Structure 1
Amino acid sequence: MSNLAEPRRPQVAAQNRKLRHLKGLSLRNLCLGRTASTSPDALSFLGENRLQQLVGDVFFSLHLKCEAEPVYVSELRHRSANFDFRFFDLASQPPAISRSPLVVVRVWATRPGRSEWIFVLDDVVDLRRLNFIRSLVGRRFPPNALVFHLDDGLYSLDFAAQAGEAKKNPPVAGSSYGSLMKLANLEASIRDALDTRDDLVAQIDVVLAQSPVDATDAALHDVERVQKYVTKQRRAISQAESRRHQLRASLAARRAAMTHGRQVQALAETEMTARRQALATEKALLDRTADLIHGQRRRICSDLTEIFPITPEREDTTAPPLSFRICNLALPNSRYDAATADEDILSAALGLAALLARHLQLYLCYPLPYPLCPYGSRSLARDDISHLTDARNAHHHHPHHQHHHHLHHLHHSNRPRREFPLYLPRGGSTTGQWRFEYGWFLLNKDIEALCASQSLRVVDIRHTLPNLKYLLYVCSAGSRDLPDRHKGGVRGLWAGHVRPTPLRSVDEHGAPASTSLSPSPSPPSSSPSSSPALVRSAGRDDAKMTLRTQGLREDVAG
């Protein structure tokens, strides 16, 4: 039979069991009926609910029979009837404890939710009388049964010992009586040496307590510590004084700055008081000037309405709605038939619309996003905003007059052409037709921008003349009378200050002459209506130039 099948037997003889062999303790079937206390509270506690009597919170303590202080106190286990406490080790205790075969076990318990503790057990256990049990399985323990965990197994007082078959081991040689006596004498000598050491330590402590204390080292240490503290405080005082000087200087500078600021503030208040009256006058002048500017803008827009009359289309009965004429020249709303459209009339009407838009940008103080170059029926619109591709392969030639000779160089340059014509191309060029339509679109965008500057909403930007007429109507509207026009001309155009640009001189009767201010040939003026005639006053060496404005509106109207 193998060793595993042999019954387990204790390894330590019963007479050799000591407290150092005890490793743990278990409690089975907690019952508070067997209590050592006969107080009325404990008896009333036993009559409570049976379910509450089956569980409790328990801890135990181990004592020697002759001592009241516990040798070991276990942890507290909660809400159970069977308890397995944590293992412990008593081998490191003094010999009087670790070699004792007797131990007193005291068990304390309480019910959950109650503060009263009940003294459950107080048993004196002789470890030599414990009975060996192999396992806890399959056993019915009596109430408050104690199970002892020793080095070689489980023991209890409530069950008979189970004798096992003796092992048939070969005899082993043991120690002789002399050797055991030598070990006992050696242990006694070691115990006497430890006791002597403890006595010497106690005597030394008594001597040290009775002898006077030498405070020299402590005093030197205190002096050194005080000196370090004094040095540190002196350094802190120096830093505080430096900081105080800095703050005083800063406060003095701030006081001076505050004094200067008060003086400046008083001077500013004095000047403000003196200028309040002037400010009121300037505000009144500003309001009056703004009112005058508004009135002059109304008058100018009214004059432009008469100079560039925009009338509904009445001659052509097949014309679509919102068709208008400018200066009796029909201009469709960005839709036309290239086959039947009159190139001269369409180009001239677009030139007049461009000229009117250019004048409005000056009078309304709003620059056009796309500059316009009004040259009559050969007007242009420039786009400096959009990203244009190179148009060298899309050149098309148009017959121009002599005063448009500089446009040929622009059309044949290597850079993208940013000027777009406001006149119909000739020759049926697709690129030229697209550039004309894009130029017309730029003109409509300029008119839309002018309307937006006056907070006007444009329904359709393709309506060129309706939008212009709407803008002129709103700008010239008002409840007050139109201001009078200033009579006379603009003085101060001296011959020496005028650029050498071609001028159309007039004689005494207003007839144009061929004289100019510069002998070099120059292109003619851009527009007859936008280039006023200059009159040279005779009888002085320094030629005095004046702007003739009399009869201008009559000439345009004629």
Structure 2
Amino acid sequence: MASLSAATSASQQLPSRRDQPWLLPSNRKLRNLVSLSLRNLSLDTRHSGRTRGKTIDDDAVPQTLKSPAKIVAQREFRALEHSRSSEDLKSLSSPKEDEEFSTTEKVQRNGTPPRPQMRRMRRRSTLEWANATPQRRQEKLERVTEERLMDVFFTLHVHGLEEPIYISETVKKAMNPTFRHIDLSACSPGVTRVDRVIVRVWVKKAMAESQWKLLLELETALHRLQYLGKGFDQLTTPLPQNAVILHLTDGIYTTFKNFIPMPPTKGAPAARANNSRVLPTSSFDALLRLSKLDDSIQDALAIRNRIASELEDIFEANRAALTEQDQVSEAQDRLKTIEYAQKTVEKQLEKARKQAAEKRESLIVRRNLMRSDLSTREETSQQMHRSAAEVSQSKDDRGIKQRANTAQRRRVCEDVQTIYPIQPIAGQSLAFTIRNLHLPNSDDLEAESADTVAAALGHVAHVLLLLSFYLDHPLPYPVTVRGSTSLISDPISLLKSTSKITTAPEDPKQRRYPLFSRGVPRFRFEYAVFLLNKDVQLLLESGFGVRVLDLRHTLPNLKYLLYVATAGEGELPARKAGGVRGLSSAMGSRRGSERSDGSSTLVESVGAGEGKAAVESLMRNMGGWGRKGSALR
């Protein structure tokens, strides 16, 4: 009661400094509560009786602060300091005064320095950590802040209900939190009309993984709250730790135990009204009209209640009829629902019958197809069994014919190798002769005479022509065999005409390149040798899958081609009686036929002679190839 009377007396002195509240104390209900704020949160609820001041140590003793030795030590330590006070100053002596003072010190014999005389004063720091580094100051400020910051929320309770009627949001890392507006729309009027409420504040350390704990529980009556003003900007009263501020519709309030009255400031006198004009109040006619309006409202309310009671009586009197009418309506609705369900089921049944009929027809068609397919499969299986032996015999015959064909090709290539022997030259690397004619590699064709090189290239062209025929592999660059004046064609490359504007067709002779160097441009001869080497390379790579290391080695690559073509298992077969029909037909001449110019034609000898006789006959028909400078037309 003493605190209540003290707070009441203090509140009587403050209305002149603040606006008056709009709500009467008896009209303050829970529905008028708008929001809630907390100020000066602290987990340490102990109250200290003494005011905050400086620490009690040796520096606090007055004699220590004013001793000559202390002053001399402070004067010698001149560091960068922060001035915080204008009352506590220390002297700043000049060099001349310091010299006089040192002379006085020498005169003293008792060992005690004299008191300093009146000199110019300077500010000194009153901070304990004024000379600390900025990093240390920042760390200290962060520690102080972390100790005071907390995560906080509150709950509202009323008597008679176990569960809270409102739970606020959680405010993170705050010391003076202000919460959002309170929404009590879900509460009944019986709750919003109460004038007593219990506020429970729950907190948790912001920087620690701790549990929520109850900081304070405040049960207050709204009619006993102390009005502080319209907002915090009008608040001039210091608040204690863990002060609870209630925001009502007309301002902010607090409890008596959180309110500490302050005497009015001398420099801020209370504002007085300068307007002395008396304002008029309501007239008698206005009050009479309000009274009549109130009577009319009361009459309307009475009529409304009477009509409501009469309607209730009529309803009770006719309840049975109304119930029967409702039952009839429900029965009609049920009957309509049943009829609709019946029609729906009939439609579904008809649709199901149609689907069943379609599925029966589909099954009949499938059974017929399965029977026909089964009979077809049986016939096919029987045919396969009957022809299995024939297929096996055909495979065996095909394999035998392939092996015989391969063996005949080996024999023919062996004959070609015998006709055109390619022999190495002793003492030279990758140097070969064909029919005793030395053909250098493509990069050293000038090492031999032009006639020898032309004759050797004619032999190589003829060997390639024969191999492409026997191996059934056409040459990409066809050759025209004329002995030492053989030619090779290039039907693939794109040729650039010397004339930019021409309508004449391309001359086929431009695509023929000579395999001899006498009387022709050098570049056409070199290009012809290059095309001949490409033919050898393509025969090796496409026909046998062998990679050519150096394209310029003409005879070594041709020797390797013949070596690969004659390689195989088993002995070479004998020549068949009647000759090889493909060979004689490909050469376009009968055995022993000759052209009108007397030149011989290459044919395969016919008869039952051995391989050696065939080779000798072929060499006789090719007479003159071994002589230097001879030509085959």
TM-score for the superposition, normalised by structure 1: 0.66
Q: Assess if the C-alpha contact under 8 Å between 1:61 and 1:74 holds in 2.
A: yes
CA contact (8 A) 1:391 1:417 kept: no
* Partner residue in 2 for 1:38: none
Mapping 1:435-514, distance limit 5 Å: 435-452=524-541, 453-478=543-568, 480-489=570-579, 514=596
Whole-Å separation in 1 of the counterparts to 2:582 and 2:183: 124
TM-aligned CA distance change 1:189 to 1:123, over 3 Å: farther
Cα gap change, 1:419 to 1:531, in 2 (>3 Å): farther
- After superposition, the CA RMSD in angstroms is 5.1
Structure 1 position 359, deviation (Å): 1.1
Matches within 5 A, 1:243-262: 243-262=355-374
Instruction: State the partner residue of 1:272.
Output: 384
Counterparts of 1:445 and 1:417, CA distance in 2: 19
CA–CA distance in structure 2, aligned partners of residues 456 and 255 of structure 1: 59
Q: Aligned equivalents of 1:392 and 1:83: distance in 2?
A: 96
Q: Structure 1 residue 303: deviation in Å?
A: 0.9
Deviation at 1:372?
A: 2.1
3-state SS of 2:18 partner: coil
Give the fraction of aligned pairs with identical amino acids, expressed as a percent.
29
Other structure's SS at 2:167 match: coil
Say which of 271, 274, 296 aligns to 2:408: 296
**Structure 1: which amino acid aligns with 2:435?**
C
- How far residue 360 of structure 1 moved from its aligned partner, in angstroms, is 0.8
| Alignment partner, residue 440 of structure 2 | 332
* Distance verdict in 2 for CA 1:81–1:352, change over 3 Å: closer
Amino acid aligned to 1:277: A
Change (3 A) 1:460 1:165: closer
Separation in 2, partners of 1:304, 1:492: 16
Kindly state the Cα deviation for residue 438 of structure 1 after the two structures are TM-superposed: 1.3
Aligned match of 2:600: 528
1:375 aligned to 475, 482, 503, which one? 482
Matched, 1:8 2:18: yes
Rounded to whole Å, the distance in 1 between the matches of 2:231 and 2:42 is 22
Hey, what does 1:47 align to over in structure 2?
A: none
Supply the AA of the counterpart residue of 2:252. L
Amino acid at match of 1:443: L
Secondary structure of the 1:214 match is: helix
* Residue in structure 1 matched with residue 138 of structure 2 by the alignment: none
1:167 aligns with 2:273: yes
| Cα displacement string for residues 249-285 of structure 1 (whole angstroms, at most 9, x for unaligned residues) | 4333333333333222222222222222223322322
Partner residue in 1 for 2:513? 420
Alignment of 1:42-81 (within 5 A): 58-61=154-157, 73-76=165-168
CA gap 1:388/1:280 in 2 versus in 1, 3 angstroms = same
Deviation of 1:356 (Å): 1.0
- The verdict on how the C-alpha distance between 1:153 and 1:309 changes in structure 2, with shifts beyond 3 A counting, is closer
Q: Equivalents in 2 of 1:32, 1:312: separation in Å?
A: 109
Q: Which residue of 2 aligns with 1:519?
A: none
Contact 2:38 2:244 in 1 (8 A): yes
Q: For residue 420 of structure 1, report the CA deviation from its aligned partner.
A: 2.0
**Structure 1 counterpart of 2:207:** none
Q: 1:257 to 1:376 in 2, by over 3 A?
A: farther
For 1:30 and 1:189, the matched residues in 2 are separated by 55
Q: Does 1:354 align with 2:452?
A: no
Give the gaps of 5 or more residues in structure 2: 1-15, 46-146, 205-209, 607-613, 624-633
Is the 1:22–1:89 Cα contact (8 Å) retained in structure 2? no
State how far apart, in whole Å, the 1-side matches of 2:222 and 2:525 are.
124
Aligned residue type for 1:465? L
TM-aligned CA deviation for residue 154 of structure 1: 3.2
More contact order relative to length (CA 8 Å, sep ≥ 6)? 2
Q: Deviations over 1:388-434 (max 9, x none)?
A: 222679xxxxxxxxxxxxxxxx9x945783222222240xx5xx321
What is the match of residue 41 of structure 1?
none
Q: 1:475 to 1:59 in 2, by over 3 A?
A: closer
Report the alpha carbon displacement of residue 130 of structure 1 after superposing the two structures with TM: 4.8
236-245 vs 161-170, greater mean Cα deviation: 161-170
Structure 1 residues 475-530: Cα deviation after superposition (integer angstroms, max 9, x where no partner): 2244532211113357899xxxx99x996897xxx8x585xxxxxxxxx79x8343
Aligned pairs (5 A) from 1:121-200: 121-126=218-223, 130-131=226-227, 133=229, 137=235, 139-141=237-239, 147-156=245-254, 158=256, 165-169=271-275, 170-187=277-294, 189-190=296-297, 193-194=300-301, 197=304, 200=307
CA distance in 2 between partners of 1:195 and 1:291 (Å) = 126
Matches within 5 A, 1:83-98: 84=178, 86-87=180-181
CA distance in structure 2 between the partners assigned to 1:436 and 1:457 by the alignment = 25
Q: 1:282 to 1:164 in 2, by over 3 A?
A: same
Amino acid aligned to 2:418? E
Q: CA contact under 8 A between 2:27 and 2:223: conserved in structure 1? A: no
Report the counterpart of residue 97 of structure 2 in structure 1.
none
From 418, 437, 443, the equivalent of 1:306 is 418
**Do the aligned residues in 2 keep the contact of 1:22 with 1:151 (CA within 8 Å)?**
yes
Q: Is the 8 A contact 1:504 1:513 kept in 2?
A: no
Q: Does the 8 Å CA contact 1:390/1:415 hold for their aligned counterparts?
A: no
- State TM-score, norm by structure 2: 0.59
Contact 2:157 2:198 (8 Å CA) reproduced: yes
* Structure 1, 303-312 or 137-146: larger mean CA deviation: 137-146
Q: Does the 8 A contact of 2:602 with 2:621 survive in 1?
A: no
- State the alpha-carbon separation in 2 of the partners of residues 346 and 90 from structure 1: 115
Mapped to 2, the partners of 1:196 and 1:416 lie a distance apart of 128
1:551 Cα deviation from its structure 2 partner: 7.0
| Residue 347 of structure 1: how far off its partner (Å) | 2.4
Q: Secondary structure at the match of 1:469?
A: helix
On the 8 A contact 1:503/1:533 being kept in 2, the answer is no
Please state how far the C-alpha of 1:358 moved relative to its aligned partner: 1.2
Q: 2:94 maps to what in 1?
A: none
- Are the equivalent residues in 1 in contact too, given 2:439–2:445 (CA < 8 A)? no
Q: Give 2:522's match in structure 1, choosing from 419, 429, 433.
A: 433
**Residues 209-254 of structure 1 deviation map (CA, whole Å, 9 limit, x = unaligned):** 7331434555554455555544444444444444444433433333
Question: 1:58 is aligned with what amino acid?
Answer: F
Shift of 1:300: 0.8
Structure 1 residue 322, shift from structure 2 partner: 2.8
Matches within 5 A, 1:374-413: 374-390=481-497, 413=506
Q: Deviations over 1:172-223 (max 9, x none)?
A: 2221245235325534643664575467557656765733143455555445
Give, in angstroms, the shift of residue 95 of structure 1: 11
1:304 is displaced (CA, Å) by: 0.8
Asked if the contact 1:425/1:436 (under 8 Å) is kept, the reply is no
Q: Which residue of 2 aligns with 1:555?
A: 620
Structure 2 Cα separation of the partners of residues 384 and 206 of structure 1: 119
1:107 to 191, 196, 199: 199
- Aligned partner of 2:19: which letter? R
User: Any idea what SS the aligned residue of 2:433 has?
Assistant: strand
> In 1, distance between residues paired with 2:539 and 2:516?
22
Between Structure 1 and Structure 2, how many residues are aligned? 468
Structure 1 residue aligned with 2:631: none
> Does structure 2 retain, via aligned residues, the 8 Å contact 1:106–1:120?
yes
Q: 1:61 offset after TM fit, Å?
A: 4.5
Q: Distance in 2 between matches of 1:224 and 1:277?
A: 79
Contact 1:23 1:150 in 2 (8 A): yes
Q: What secondary structure is seen at the aligned counterpart in 2 of 1:126?
A: helix
Counterpart residue identity of residue 198, structure 2:
R
> Relative to total residues, which structure has the larger helix share, 1 or 2?
2
Q: How far apart are residue 462 of structure 1 and its match? A: 1.9
